[in-house]
Structure 1
Amino acid sequence: MRFGIAILPEYRWRDAAPRWRRAEEYGFDHAWTYDHLTWAGLQDSPWYGTTPTLTAAATVTSTIKLGTFVTSPNFRHPLALTREILAIEDVSDGRFLCGIGAGGSLDATIQGGPELTPRQRQDRYQEFVKLLDILLTTDGVDFKGEYYETRNGRTLPGCIQQPRVPFILAGNGPRSLRFAAGHGDGWMTTGGAADDLDGWFRSVADLSHRLDDLVEGRPFDRYLSLDSVVYALSSPAAFEDAVGRAAALGFTDVITHWPRAEGVYGGSEEVMEQVATDVIPRLRRA
């Protein structure tokens, strides 16, 4: 099992930098930040850009993987994103993980444009991922699809990680799962809708079992965001229980959130420190 922490892009860098450093010092395997123009849980809070934040995080860390949790086609073009990925890859010396999803509704129309149906968002997402894959592995790309176009898209020098950065593809629906199994280097989920923790883990189990049928026994990384119903860092015992249940369902990676002072993901940094220095090392040994 590998362990990740998500640090929301809401802090001035003088306050954010120590968090990213400590994430590495605590021994987390990967650290993530959200990629939205605004997020439903904190619409009235400060919010900073994702790729500049990750680039800055790369300068204050040296070993921890860094990722988008998750980027989407809502406000990005694959060619522009390619340049940003190449920069993060370079500054981090090949530590970037590209989480990608179809995109929600909140920041889908914030820049104007038509509101897409769920099917259209999924069509756009698949085209986005396929073109991004081409751009990260090929220089001089001519492409014309339903949603995106490039004309001699230049993408030198290419990724440090070969053949490209890993794609961790998010989604819960049948099309999303099939697409992740066929085009991703891993799959990420927040689970399904549920009223309690047991119900949520039943939804997660169903999704993981459906993915089993699609990957047909081949190794495939699975990332689970633990904090959808209950905040996993509410106590060391809660975290350990959640990780154990995730491992039993075949997940290779879990992600929790850096505790905030109040509100969503509100919690105690002392609990996080205890989890990082006691619980996680013990789970690794086990």
Structure 2
Amino acid sequence: MVSGRPRVGIVLLPQERWATQREKWRRAEEMGFDHAWTYDHLAWRTLADQPWFATVPLLAAAAQVTSRIGLGTFVASPNFRHPVPFAKDVMGLDDVSEGRFLLGIGAGGEGFDAHVTGPAPTRGERTRRFEEFVGLLDALLTQPVTEHAGEFYTAHDARMVPGTIAQPRTPFVVAAAGPRTMTLAARYGQGWVTYGAAYATEDAGGASAQEQWWAALEQQVAQLDAIEAAHRPAGAPLRRYLSLDGAPVFSLTSAALAAEGVERAAGLGFTDVIVHWPRAEGIYAGDERALEEFAAGL
């Protein structure tokens, strides 16, 4: 169980020019959020034809207008990242943020990013690639010189000097929904992040999709409990991050709904909860007044 309230983070999608978005990152810190994130994609779902900026320079800029809040990728993946140059980006973000950077990483989905640089991998290839990606990133960020020859990646005389401010390296927050990726989180992660599990529209008993999501999430947590116990017996416990907006109903539909989500997540043992900054329309559409009301209670 969580001791005290979970830490609360917020996602700001990389859709606005920095001249506009600068103030939102400042406000996220001033509002009292513990961490702030942005998506690491080339384009994303229904927003593929809308403005979408690069993740690494955005987070570097955010580091310059904040001083306390954690900053992270939600989440980076091998879909278009190679571990060697990306490890340099991670080291750079760690440096400009003075150790505040959080590396959210996942296997990558099957959308636009999966095929924009070449043929998309099969699901089995994607999982194996992610395992190699995480292991190689760990090696790169914990030693000055790395040699690696694997199924998907090669690193020859790859140098990572002077290393990260965060020790022993930048924290990994691993997105995982199945046993293999949960095992990866237990072995390499400092945190586990989930969007929850799949849900039906209605079940035979009439339970809402929202309640089905919470019930499936409880089962997912139990699975992670067992895997963490088996594969991380001597390590520090994983921090557990929940995206409330994996649920059918947008968390900031109201401040009350978001606050209820934080409380329920705490009851399931989550140490951290993440919401999205409301957009004017489409996905994550909401009223910024709900965000302000929710933040006032942090």
Match of 1:271 in 2: 290
* Cα offset, 1:271, TM superposition: 0.9
Verify: 1:227 aligned to 2:248, yes or no: no
Match of 2:216 in 1: 203
Deviation readout 1:177-200 (Å, 9 max, x if unpaired): 122112211100001111311011
Match of 1:72 among 54, 74, 77: 77
Verify: 1:138 aligned to 2:157, yes or no: no
* Cα offset, 1:41, TM superposition: 2.9
* Cα offset, 1:277, TM superposition: 0.9
Q: What do you get for the CA RMSD once the two structures are aligned? A: 1.0
Unaligned residue ranges in structure 1 (runs of 5+): 281-286
Where 2:147 maps in the other structure, the secondary structure is strand
- Give the partner amino acid of 2:195: T
Match of 1:150 in 2: 155
Where 2:75 maps in the other structure, the secondary structure is strand
Report sequence identity in percent: 51
Match of 1:7 among 5, 12, 19: 12
Match of 1:40 among 27, 42, 45: 45
Deviation readout 1:219-256 (Å, 9 max, x if unpaired): 22100000121111111111111111111111000000
Unaligned residue ranges in structure 2 (runs of 5+): 1-5, 202-208
Q: Distance in 2 between matches of 1:176 and 1:20?
A: 31
Q: Distance in 1 between matches of 2:41 and 2:60?
A: 16
Match of 1:283 in 2: none
Q: Distance in 2 between matches of 1:87 and 1:179?
A: 24
Aligned length: 278
Q: How does 1:112-127 map to 2 (within 5 A)?
A: 112=118, 114-127=119-132
Match of 1:111 in 2: 117
Match of 1:23 in 2: 28
- Give the partner amino acid of 2:287: S
Q: Distance in 1 between matches of 2:228 and 2:130?
A: 20
Match of 1:241 in 2: 260
* Cα offset, 1:214, TM superposition: 1.8
Higher-RCO chain (CA-CA 8 Å, sequence separation at least 6): 2
Q: Distance in 1 between matches of 2:31 and 2:47?
A: 26
Q: Distance in 1 between matches of 2:122 and 2:281?
A: 34
Q: Distance in 2 between matches of 1:220 and 1:97?
A: 14
Q: Distance in 1 between matches of 2:215 and 2:76?
A: 27
- Give the partner amino acid of 2:116: I
Where 2:114 maps in the other structure, the secondary structure is coil
Match of 1:212 in 2: 225
* Cα offset, 1:115, TM superposition: 2.3
- Give the partner amino acid of 1:42: L
Q: Is the 8 A contact 2:33 2:69 kept in 1?
A: yes
Match of 2:204 in 1: none
Verify: 1:168 aligned to 2:186, yes or no: no
Q: Is the 8 A contact 2:141 2:164 kept in 1?
A: yes
Match of 2:55 in 1: 50
Q: Is the 8 A contact 2:78 2:129 kept in 1?
A: yes
Q: Distance in 2 between matches of 1:150 and 1:215?
A: 30
Q: Is the 8 A contact 2:255 2:293 kept in 1?
A: yes
* Cα offset, 1:166, TM superposition: 0.4
Q: Distance in 2 between matches of 1:86 and 1:140?
A: 14
